[in-house]
Structure 1
Amino acid sequence: MASVAEDIKRLAEEQKRAWETEGKPLADIASEREFTADEREKFETLERAYNSFDERINTLVMQRDLEERAQAFAGELLGNRSAFGNAADVAKFADEIREVLRGERRNNPLDYVPSAEEVRALSVGTAAAGGNTVGKTFLTQLVEPLRQFSGVYAAGAYVFVTEKGDEVTLPRLASFGAAGAATEATQLPGTDPTFNQVKFGAYKYGDYRGISNELVEDSLIDIEGLVTRLMGENISVLTGQKFAVGAGTTEPTGVVTAATVGKTGATGVGGAPSWDDLIDLQESVLAPYQARAAWVASNTAVASVRKLKDLQGRYLWEPNGQTGAPSQLLGNPVHRDPFFAGVGVGAKSIAYGDFSRYWIRLVGSTRIERSDHALFGSDQVAFRAVLRADGNLVDTSAVKTFQGGAS
């Protein structure tokens, strides 16, 4: 935990330093005159670096939050320590949960035998399928591209876990009812509140592959640990997409699908928002929700907002500068989601509101399992990852979207 916090602090300081030493002077130049070609290229390079800092910080913040949730979850499951052991037992159990959440923990071998069509193998003989990790002169390190995960989750979506996958029904207040004016000695008026329901299913997502025993034995990196972690991440990426834009009915209902449009942009601007559009979107959400509200947007939408200027040509966007905290926009944090639509005509590229009203249902946790028997005939080790989940916006007044105007 300490090392993650230190990494967050270091990246935030580097981001702030980059803005103050390079970004701010360029922004001041832009307020006085147009950029030269070299200045524009330098600013665009700085913008890409700034976005990279945000993505890396958000990834670390999500990791820190997962670890904190694991610790709390372990404490809840273990209850009082007198029944289940001492503080060391609680910490050990929390570590095990963290391993599951990261996709690092594997259960006992399975006897599941897949069909021939299901088998995909990583092996030494094919370079891209694992051979590139084996060699006579080889660094025992692996270069991995960074990945973006769910901005909806990072913005505070509520997660609840059930032991079984039967349908969960949540009663929901649909209308408040109303009072009315009354006259002396007459029946008091008033209408009753109404109710409806939100239902949560358990849609199944998985990842499966085999690794040759030669690759397991010869690779200079922990190929088993890498594959199981990537399988867990792959499921996180897939479910993150569903929680953002899932169509419902046969998959989770994404927050963009469930939310209503709070502001439609102007015509003739390619779907880009103005500063006034952002204010209107924010004010389309009732004040009680704004206390815990956040922005979630695609990368191109964030870039479009960051380029907005005042009448003097100064950029309206300012970096937060707080260690480990996301950037702020009109007083609320901003989270990027790679699955939101890019800026475009008719596209819903930005959402604003209280994302704790978006509920994610998990059946248990992600299962990462290994079998030495499933692919015995081809001398491979089989791995599979499985998660059952659903999601829906339980309060459609809590989150609104910005939609680009017509062409």
Structure 2
Amino acid sequence: MTNTQALRDKIEHLANSANALLTEKGAVPWTKEEQASFDNIADEIESHQKQLKAIERLRDLEADKFFNTAAKPVKSDGEVIGAVQAVALYLRNGKNVTSEQATAIHNAMSTTTASEGGYTVPTEVEAMVIERMKAFGGMREVAQILTTASGSPLNYPSSDGTEEEGEIVAENAIAGAQDVTFGTVALNPFKYSSKSVALPVELIQDSAIDVVSFVVDRLATRLGRITNKHYTIGSGSAQPFGLTARAEVGKTGSKGSATSASYDDLMDLIHSINSAYRKKNARFMFSDSTLCVLRKLKDTTGRPIWGLGDMREGVPSTLCGYGYTENDDMPAMAAGAKAIAFGDFGKFIIRDVVGSTSMRRFDDSAFALKGQVGFCSWTRTGSNLIDTAAVKLFVNSAT
């Protein structure tokens, strides 16, 4: 595996080179060669950062696997079978197990309702599903996660206190009153399916394959992609409310900026948010294609506005002094597109129903005749922006 320290050293060396170039040029306009050199350094830093993040994520998953494998055991006639091992037995063999193994599976995985079928996976495997879902899109990285014991409809309280203030009271005078205005925001869960996936019997039966990790990864990837899409652009009609459906427009690009944004546009978007939201957790969110556009923005001397001073490992890159999250479910820059979001994403809530993740193996003829085994997974989740003043959008011009 690539040495992470070597990657960190490369990132720091490249960042020092970039900063030296910025210092050397000062306010002097850049040549095309100097600009190309700078852009190449920036590209290489971003590439190393992504590689480092991938390595660290893999190590986290390996650590989770180690501890999950040592999860609370299930005893069956003297045989000790851990919860994850019980799931592996079910995925690998279905109902073709011994009575002792069947008891272990039953103890580790509770049967779901008849309409869902299959088994509710143990908490160790449910955590694996959620962790893999975080890898797609970015919404789970920045949103507030709310877990509830049931999937009943939920109206979440909302309140905007940014315009509230106190007063000076004269001696012996009565303090004034200012009521707090509360609203409610629907935060209801929806049942998501991974769709069934067919895998060769030989692959599932191969003892060298970590069947739990393999199947969970494939199913959770599908769940992660569809849920992140809905967290981002969901309409709220027969699906969760997504960010772009609820956030207000903070800045609309001027005519001619259908596929671009200017430094002034970004500053206007930043200041469309009340300063109370900008001071702690504010950041940008946009797709990778928009990131490419923004990284090329220059000031009046041709200097990039990208935060190269923060490109060392451990200090994320910034834009106009704020961090950013890549989310490819955010619309790409196009006429009328809601391409950039800015604000406190902690006001966006993702609701997960605990214990709602279930999994089923299919051995029916539709799969068996092809030498395959089918798998499908379900989970219940929803989302909404509880404070529409906390996040604002940049919208590209119509023409």
Where does 1:218-367 land on structure 2 (aligned, <5 Å)? 225-290=213-278, 291-319=280-308, 320-364=310-354, 367=357
Q: Offset at 1:337?
A: 0.7
Q: Offset at 1:44?
A: 6.4
What is aligned with 2:129? none
Q: Offset at 1:359?
A: 0.1
Q: Offset at 1:262?
A: 0.8
What is aligned with 1:75? none
What is aligned with 2:30? 32
Q: Offset at 1:253?
A: 1.1
What is aligned with 2:101? none
What is aligned with 1:98? none
What is aligned with 1:14? 10
Q: Offset at 1:403?
A: 1.0
1:161 correspondence with 2:147: yes
CA distance in 1, matches of 2:164, 2:14: 54
1:171 correspondence with 2:157: yes
Amino acid corresponding to residue 31 of structure 2 in structure 1 = R
The answer to whether the 8 Å contact 2:306/2:320 transfers is no
The answer to whether the 8 Å contact 2:200/2:372 transfers is yes
Amino acid corresponding to residue 308 of structure 1 in structure 2 = L
1:221-249: CA deviations, max 9, x gaps? Answer: 65764343122122112111111111112
Q: What secondary structure is seen at the aligned counterpart in 2 of 1:262?
A: strand
CA distance in 2, matches of 1:62, 1:307: 29
Q: Offset at 1:259?
A: 0.5
What is aligned with 1:97? none
Q: What secondary structure is seen at the aligned counterpart in 2 of 1:269?
A: coil
* Counterpart among 140, 149, 153 of residue 136 in structure 2: 149
Q: Offset at 1:383?
A: 1.7
Q: Offset at 1:62?
A: 6.7
CA distance in 1, matches of 2:180, 2:18: 57
1:238/1:11 CA distance change after superposition, 3 Å: farther
CA distance in 1, matches of 2:393, 2:269: 7
CA distance in 2, matches of 1:333, 1:188: 41
Amino acid corresponding to residue 235 of structure 2 in structure 1 = A
CA distance in 2, matches of 1:377, 1:53: 45
- Structure 1, unaligned stretches of length 5 or more? 72-87, 95-103, 113-146
1:22/1:347 CA distance change after superposition, 3 Å: same
Q: Offset at 1:160?
A: 1.1
1:206/1:330 CA distance change after superposition, 3 Å: same
Amino acid corresponding to residue 241 of structure 1 in structure 2 = K
Q: What secondary structure is seen at the aligned counterpart in 1 of 2:182?
A: strand
Q: What secondary structure is seen at the aligned counterpart in 2 of 1:359?
A: strand
1:173-210: CA deviations, max 9, x gaps? Answer: 36778999999xx9998664433211222212222223
Q: What secondary structure is seen at the aligned counterpart in 2 of 1:341?
A: coil
> Percent identical across equivalent pairs?
26
Per mean C-alpha deviation after superposition, the further-off stretch among 202-211 and 348-357 is 202-211
Q: What secondary structure is seen at the aligned counterpart in 1 of 2:32?
A: coil
* Counterpart among 378, 381, 392 of residue 386 in structure 1: 378
The answer to whether the 8 Å contact 1:106/1:370 transfers is no
State the TM-score, normalized to the length of structure 1.
Answer: 0.68
The answer to whether the 8 Å contact 2:305/2:319 transfers is no
Q: Offset at 1:274?
A: 1.2
1:384/1:90 CA distance change after superposition, 3 Å: closer
- Structure 2, unaligned stretches of length 5 or more? 73-85, 96-110, 112-133
Q: Offset at 1:272?
A: 1.5
> What is the total number of aligned residue pairs between the two structures?
340
Where does 1:49-68 land on structure 2 (aligned, <5 Å)? 49-57=44-52
CA distance in 1, matches of 2:312, 2:39: 23
Amino acid corresponding to residue 349 of structure 1 in structure 2 = A
What is aligned with 2:83? none
CA distance in 1, matches of 2:62, 2:186: 29
State the TM-score, normalized to the length of structure 2.
Answer: 0.69
Amino acid corresponding to residue 317 of structure 2 in structure 1 = S
